Amino acid sequence: MIKAFKDDLLSLAKSPFSLFILLIPMPLIAILLFFTLGHGILQKMPIGILDLDQTSTSNQIIFSLQASPSLHIEHFYTSLDHAKNDLQNAKIFALIVLPHNLQSNSKKGITSSIPLYYNAQFLLVAKTLQSKILQIIGVENVKLKLAKNLVESKNFLGALSKSLPISQQITALYNPDSSYAQFLLTAILPCSLAIFICVSLLCSILRDPRTSFFVLPKGGQTELFWLLFAKIFNTACFSFLWWLAMMWFFTHIMHLPMRGDWNTLALGAFLMILAYEAITLFIFALAKDSTRSISVISIYSAPSFAFAGITFPTNSMESFSKFWSDLLPVSHYLELYIQQANYGGSLAYALSLCLSMTPFLLFGLLGLVIYGLRSQK
């Protein structure tokens, strides 16, 4: 038994490709994503201005837009045609048109509309742009009403309540800074870990001719099962170490909250690791070929991020999408992580999420049965 564990570790040390898979991809992905999304907030998104009014009111709106850290006025246009080309080429993400007679209409109490054109193809950017620009225009609208009402009432509080009869009190929970880093990284890295688990176990199986169907073990099925168990155990240990490093990265580098129980989350992570190992073992035992196995594993695990229920809520998915999401252990783990890290959810609900990953372990038993049957041939 101990010899099987040692043989697997020795074969790992002699395989540069396996060492590369084990040590490089996970930290590389984390570093690239952190430097790409580390700020967490979209900043200096390029926009364009078409000022047809050229008055102090339009200048005040432009000044407010320039003062926003999320926006950057890339260009002042003189015609819609030029701005249209830049919108199509993504040189700017939005165009604001300040119409003729904006100031005079506001003084006369005539409503003026400010057209906003934005590129909705970039969904996250478009939603943020729309929110920021509408917020700024709303504030400027209140300022104009306040100035007019202050002249009439001579009382600041009365003029303010008349200008803004209903005020907003919006409280963002669990992600108060609206950080895209917290939103995306906490989902992308576990999905990357899922792929890493599958590929690592597959590499471990292929390193040994006794487990890759090239040579039958001298000790028969007993030796075969111990070899497979050693590979599953070693891969699970390495994967769990990467999970611990990922949690350290979330809490100490990104300073994300952890309001729940670490032990419960660790249990869920370990079950997710075993689930993906079971699925990988089953696929290879069935395919009996590395090329077909990695193809099936890629089709199964690569789209995990899209079906994990983070970027698009699971309850709004179509039936097949929900079914596919339920077939992914990482979907259940991410639900557990959000419940524990963000909400500090109850232990009973957390354990129910852990139990939802246990049926995947049956694939491992089926894989062992197939291995046993094929070793008899």
pLDDT at 225 (0 to 100): 85
pLDDT at 270 (0 to 100): 96
pLDDT: is 219 or 108 the higher one?
108
Binning pLDDT at 50, 70 and 90, where does residue 171 land?
low
Under a CB-based contact definition with an 8 Å cutoff, are residues 163 and 147 in contact? no
Q: CA torsion, points 69, 70, 73, 77, in degrees to nearest 10?
A: -150
Under a CB-based contact definition with an 8 Å cutoff, are residues 284 and 294 in contact? no
pLDDT tens track for 15-51? 888 899 989 999 999 888 888 776 666 778 888 888 8
pLDDT at 94 over 70: yes
Under a CB-based contact definition with an 8 Å cutoff, are residues 349 and 261 in contact? no
Find the mean pLDDT for residues 212-234: 80
pLDDT at 212 over 80: no
Place of tokens 């904006």: 102
pLDDT at 160 over 60: no
Strands 116-118 and 94-98: antiparallel
Binning pLDDT at 50, 70 and 90, where does residue 265 land?
very high
Binning pLDDT at 50, 70 and 90, where does residue 312 land?
confident
Q: Which residues of 247-274 are buried (b: 16+ CB within 10 A; e: fewer)?
A: bebbeeebebeeebeeebbebbbbbbbb
At 217, list the tokens: 């073990």
Find the mean pLDDT for residues 89-104: 84
Share of the chain above pLDDT 70, in %: 86
At 115, list the tokens: 């057209």
Torsion region of 4: left, alpha or beta (phi above 0 gives left; psi -120 to 50 gives alpha): alpha
At 252, list the tokens: 């100490």
Domain with CATH 3.40.1710.10 in the chain: 45-163
- Distance separating alpha carbons of residues 83 and 355, to the nearest angstrom: 55
CATH number, domain 45-163: 3.40.1710.10
- Distance separating alpha carbons of residues 330 and 308, to the nearest angstrom: 7
Binning pLDDT at 50, 70 and 90, where does residue 361 land?
very high
- Distance separating alpha carbons of residues 197 and 270, to the nearest angstrom: 11
Find the mean pLDDT for residues 313-331: 83
At 322, list the tokens: 């929900």
Measuring CA to CA, which residue among 121, 67, 132 is closest to residue 96? 132
Local structure of residue 53 (DSSP, 8 states): S
Under a CB-based contact definition with an 8 Å cutoff, are residues 181 and 254 in contact? yes
pLDDT at 27 (0 to 100): 92
pLDDT at 40 (0 to 100): 62
Q: Is the dihedral of CA 84, 86, 90, 96 positive or negative?
A: negative
pLDDT at 162 over 70: no
Binning pLDDT at 50, 70 and 90, where does residue 153 land?
low
Helix, strand, coil share of the chain (percent; to 5): 70, 5, 25
pLDDT: is 74 or 123 the higher one?
74
* Residue 354, H or E segment: helix 347-355
- 157: number of CA atoms within 13 Å, CB side? 0
3-state secondary structure 3-62: HHHHHHHHHHHCCHHHHHHHHCHHHHHHHHHHHHHCCCCCCCEEEEEEECCCCHHHHHHH
Find the mean pLDDT for residues 90-99: 85
Find the mean pLDDT for residues 89-101: 85
Find the mean pLDDT for residues 67-83: 84
15: helix, strand or coil: coil
